[in-house]
Amino acid sequence: MLYITQSIISNFIRKIGIIFPILCILSCKTSNVKNTNENKFTNDNLEFSQKFHEKIVDIFKEKELEGDFIFAIVGENGLLYSKAINNKIINGESSFLDNNSPIYVASHTKSFTGTLAKILEEKGKIDLNKSLSNYLPELNFKDSIDVDKIFIKNLLNHTHGTFSTTLTWKTAFLGYSGNNSELIEDFNNDFLYDPSGSFRYSNVGPIITAIAIESATGNSWKDEMKEHIFQPLEMFNTTTKVSDLHYDRIRPSVTVSKEHGVIETGFDKSDILMHASGGVISTVNDLSKWLSANIRQDNILLSQESWKELHTSNVSQDKSYFTYNRKGYSLGWDIAEYQGDTILTRFGGLAGISFHISFIPEKKIGIIAFSSDNRAYILPHLMANYAYNELNENLADSIFQIERINFEKAFDNENALVYPNKTQLLTQNETKQHIQGSYLSTSGWPPISINQEADHFIFNWGVLNGKIFKTEDGHYTSNLGLLNRDFEIKSDTLKTGSLIYIKIKQ
């Protein structure tokens, strides 16, 4: 395989009949100059730019997409091409959407956390080959698991075998006190364990790694990320804290259905829900610095040997996602194959947001893509593949048509989902029992409360809340932004899934 270095990119540009000054693009520093050079890149590569633009606009119009789509091609020296599309832009209206728009990267955070762990290991602050007992002796699973056989590396590559629903839901959805001691207590009391050492993907490993990092360094995972990754790479618009940003500038997820149109719009994460498996907000401009550092294995962050471990599979997996055949996992990247190339990916998704980041190490090229319409979660991957195939001189248009079939199927499935409508909203006149009040879990989960607003009711669970709707079976449901939750109430007992809550008597 040839490298997609400057010579290959030049060949690609010659293929479409135009040569562009790539060195200027790669050397410019200020955001204004970067924007100018990106415009010039687009203008000097009209065939690719026009085809890409036509394809994404065609999909937006045909599927009546809502929300945003952001895309970038990145080389070893930085951003090469970008595109931002939403309905306002398509219609020629002003929009805040651009390369500096804050976007949530969801589970791609795991790649950042794995890299941070390697950085701290090089600095002698943590040893990935030491066991949990060295850093978190209080995490003992009531002595039912031999924690001396679970190493920090196992946490990062998902071979630790442990899982906790309570820990996962508190950190991702419901919130908690913010104290690691609470999470460790939850884990000690609510866990599953598979001793086989097989790859089992979950949020748990990186989250426990972050707690171990705090124990070893005395600093939070969030502070360590800023000090050792964001600042060295000059990612000044990247953060692990929602409160660092103007909330209304964060690109929200959009939930849409064929029957009712836009159901929900918003970004429901808060600081307490930003964790080491899904807790980074960044921009295309900043992420291009991160991705290019991975592509060139920049010694600003790590040695070549550490980069190799980050980018090389150390555990097998046999899974497929869309067109990517995943064969292994490193300390934060899925090792996959696409069109004969080894490709490293680590995607993310939450409540409509779909985030794609990938690169082909041998060809020194990578893609960043983001969409926020829940029905179009395959779209970032579809368009990434199109760009890769154009750059690799594959039959890009033919492959695109084949892969679009899978996109269409996924879109149609999501579009057909049924959501509660206004006629199902639970109003004061329709409730047959006094459901207002506070409910406590019988097993240590965050409290639930139900209160009235105007003529309807609000379901509050941890830090999330949403309107209550009636279901056909006489029970209730609520869209909490990050998730939908069904529940029933009989007398003073509220049941949601397998969880039992008892109403507090006033």
Architecture per CATH, 422-503: Beta Barrel (2.40)
- Read off φ and ψ for residue 285, nearest 5 degrees: -60, -45
Q: Determine the pLDDT at residue 24.
A: 31
Q: Determine the pLDDT at residue 17.
A: 34
Name the CATH superfamily housing domain 6-110+227-415. DD-peptidase/beta-lactamase superfamily (3.40.710.10)
- ∠ CA 6-293-37, rounded to 5°: 50
- ∠ CA 382-388-391, rounded to 5°: 145
DSSP category for residue 422 = G
Q: Determine the pLDDT at residue 488.
A: 95
Number of H helices, E strands in the chain: 16, 23
Report residue 250 as tokens: 């964060």
**Among candidates 176, 165, 253, 147, which has minimal Cα distance to 202?**
165
Cα torsion at 231, 235, 241, 244 (round to 10°)? 100
What is the distance between the alpha carbons of residues 308 and 11, in angstroms, rounded to a whole number?
29
Give kind and range of the element (H or E) at residue 25: helix 22-27
Q: Determine the pLDDT at residue 404.
A: 97
What is the distance between the alpha carbons of residues 256 and 252, in angstroms, rounded to a whole number?
13
pLDDT in tens, the chain (506 residues): 333 333 333 333 333 333 233 223 222 333 344 555 566 666 766 788 889 999 999 999 999 999 999 999 999 989 999 999 999 999 999 999 999 999 999 999 999 999 999 999 999 999 999 999 999 999 999 999 999 999 999 999 999 999 999 999 999 999 999 999 999 999 999 999 999 999 999 999 999 999 999 999 999 999 999 999 999 999 999 999 999 999 999 999 999 999 889 999 999 999 999 999 999 999 999 999 999 999 999 999 999 999 999 999 999 999 999 999 999 999 999 999 999 999 999 999 999 999 999 999 999 999 999 999 999 999 999 999 999 999 887 799 999 999 999 999 999 999 999 999 888 999 987 665 689 999 999 888 999 999 999 989 999 999 999 999 999 888 999 999 999 999 999 989 999 999 999 999 87
Q: Using the structure block, give the residue that is written with the tokens 């890009």.
A: 396
Residue 2, class by beta-carbon neighbours within 10 Å (0-12 exposed, 13-18 middle, 19+ buried)? exposed
The answer to whether 292 touches 74, Cβ cutoff 8 Å, is: yes
Domain boundaries, the chain: 6-110+227-415, 422-503
Report residue 74 as tokens: 């990145």
**Among candidates 336, 307, 306, 305, which has minimal Cα distance to 319?**
336
